[in-house]
Amino acid sequence: MSLGRVGLVAVLALPALGAAVLAVLPHRIDRAARITGTAFAAAAFVLSVLLALGGDDNWFGYRPRTAGGPGVRPWHELDLTWVPGLDLRFHLGVDGVSYPLVVLTALLTLLCCAYTAWRVPAPGRGRTLVALLLVVEVGIVGTFLALDLVLFFLFFEVVLLPMYAIIAIWGGEDRQHAARKFALYTLFGSVLLLVGVFTVVTAAGTADLVDLTGGGELSRGTQLAAFSLLAIAFAVKSPLWPLHSWLPDAHTQAPTVGSVILAGVLLKMGTYGLIRVAVGVAPEGARWAAPVLGTLAVAAIIVGSLVCLAQSELKRLIAYSSVGHMGFVLLGVATLTATGIQAALIGNIAHGVITGLLFFLAGAIKDRAHTGALAELGGLRESTPRLAGLLGFAAIASLGLPGLAGFWGEAFAVVAAWRVGGPFWTTLAVLAALGGALTAAYLLRLLRRVTHGPATPAVLTLTPGLAGAELAAWGPLVLLALAIGLAPTLVLGYAEVPVEALLEAIR
């Protein structure tokens, strides 16, 4: 087995092994168990980065293979017989579309595990929380690596139970309601995803995503039905308005690390699935539904921004901001153009980095002030200027300031819609641009309410310093937000070839 194939297996096996080790360690060594879990997450992150070191035939150079199949084959590919009687295969692969998401998932899991290792949300239970984070990593990374539809579905579902437990056990006062709502919406999407996968596999006679890209032998009617089922399933996870209402409750009640994983990478399972599976497998359905998807995406941008302008709770405001930001991602996908899909891919990564940072900061503020009410958090820069400065940086990055990561995805999603042309798409582009202005308005309002003005009683008692564990968790995200903003090729350079191949296959 080549080094690339070993890497594909190891990036899944290490967090799974780490979770298993933590499950058998005794409670009395909880701190050591948390550090052990963090070590497994660190090893998985290093391996995820090394996946970029070329194809199986050229380990030390970036050179995607182009032999066979529609478009570009993955850099590394593992294809083993899994269930011979049902012709199911354990088929994994990584390319420029999935690679940045795999690395982001591994990075955020590492940061969350490290944060938990030094700042325990519930004494004696940090070991279990780290183990659950590692299981979530297995499900999310597996979703990004799966090249078999049935395997994709199974990894997609692995995330449900551990994320439910993270919210229900370590969440806020209303955590049980939020966890149930998350589970119900997710199960609804899972049923539609299962039916969509069944429709495709039975009609095409194969579950191989490489062979299915471009529609394969699927009839137009089958593609329309399959895309409808798959798109709604992925819209729930993204989430797309009006299927978004589980997200604010889940974010508000989840512990800090739960919110970071939810916003940072779990939502990306939906947008990635829309690009890789729904558009790739049912391109005729995608073209047919593109106007509807574009309309809902712009509605998400406008509605999410307007709700944020009325929000009075910190984490809930950031949660609703994700609805708007993911609307830009989905608008890019709806254009079915190279510019739009590239905008969606970099928008995914930028949102994961910036909103992950915002939730880390929001959690730190709530832990210190014991409230998330904006009216009770004024004057943060007077007592904790470093924390206020980091919040200002994250908010400005989130509103899409040029030079920071948030700019590229939102700006070029609008450009892509404008370039499609015609009254309909031009109108969507204008409305999306208006939504971008509203995004700036609510984030500047957030800073005015929280960091400026006289310090409130809840803020006056805060200690000015930042813990080393906090700086270690936040620092990489600050650097990434700046690096991606200045050098978007860090993401787009990997994705250019596979995106062109995808578009060629679905024409």
Helices (H), 146-273: 149-158, 160-170, 175-204, 209-212, 220-237, 246-253, 256-261, 268-273
Query: Is the pLDDT score of 427 beyond 90?
Result: yes
Query: Is the pLDDT score of 62 beyond 60?
Result: no
User: What pLDDT does residue 293 have?
Assistant: 92
Using only C-alpha atoms, the chain has a radius of gyration, in whole angstroms, of 22
pLDDT band at 457 (very low <50, low <70, confident <90, very high): confident
User: What pLDDT does residue 505 have?
Assistant: 75
The Cα 477–Cα 51 span in angstroms is: 21
Kindly report, residue by residue over 145-190, the tens digit of the pLDDT.
999 899 999 999 998 899 999 888 887 778 888 888 888 888 888 8
pLDDT band at 373 (very low <50, low <70, confident <90, very high): confident
Greatest mean pLDDT among 115-119, 218-222, 337-341 = 337-341
DSSP-derived letter for residue 240 is P
DSSP 9-72: HHHHHHHHHHHHHHHHS-GGGHHHHHHHHHHHHHHHHHHHHHTTSB-TT-TTB------SSSSP
The H-or-E segment that residue 104 falls in is: helix 99-118
Query: Is the pLDDT score of 82 beyond 60?
Result: yes
User: What pLDDT does residue 112 have?
Assistant: 92
Range of lowest pLDDT (12-21, 220-229, 366-375): 366-375
Query: Is the pLDDT score of 3 beyond 70?
Result: no
Q: What share of the chain is helix, strand, coil (3-state, %, to 5)?
A: 75, 5, 20
Q: Specify the 3-state DSSP secondary structure of 328.
A: helix
The Cα 280–Cα 393 span in angstroms is: 37
Query: Is the pLDDT score of 220 beyond 90?
Result: no
Mean pLDDT of the chain: 85
Range of lowest pLDDT (20-34, 120-134, 235-249, 287-301): 120-134
Cβ density class 356-385: b for 16+ within 10 Å, e for less = bbbbbbbbbbbebbebbebebbbbbbbbbe
Kindly report, residue by residue over 229-283, the tens digit of the pLDDT.
999 999 888 888 888 788 888 888 888 888 899 888 888 898 999 998 888 888 8
User: What pLDDT does residue 169 have?
Assistant: 86
Burial of 4 (0-12, 13-18, 19+ CB in 10 A): buried
Burial of 67 (0-12, 13-18, 19+ CB in 10 A): exposed
User: What pLDDT does residue 59 have?
Assistant: 36
The Cα 130–Cα 35 span in angstroms is: 9
Helices and strands, number each (H, E), in the chain: 23, 2
Kindly report, residue by residue over 428-454, the tens digit of the pLDDT.
999 999 998 998 899 998 888 888 878
User: What pLDDT does residue 328 have?
Assistant: 92
Q: Is the alpha carbon torsion for 65, 68, 73, 75 positive or negative?
A: negative
Query: Is the pLDDT score of 413 beyond 60?
Result: yes
Burial of 2 (0-12, 13-18, 19+ CB in 10 A): middle
User: What pLDDT does residue 54 have?
Assistant: 55
Percent of the chain with pLDDT over 70: 93
Query: Is the pLDDT score of 479 beyond 90?
Result: yes
Q: Specify the 3-state DSSP secondary structure of 76.
A: strand
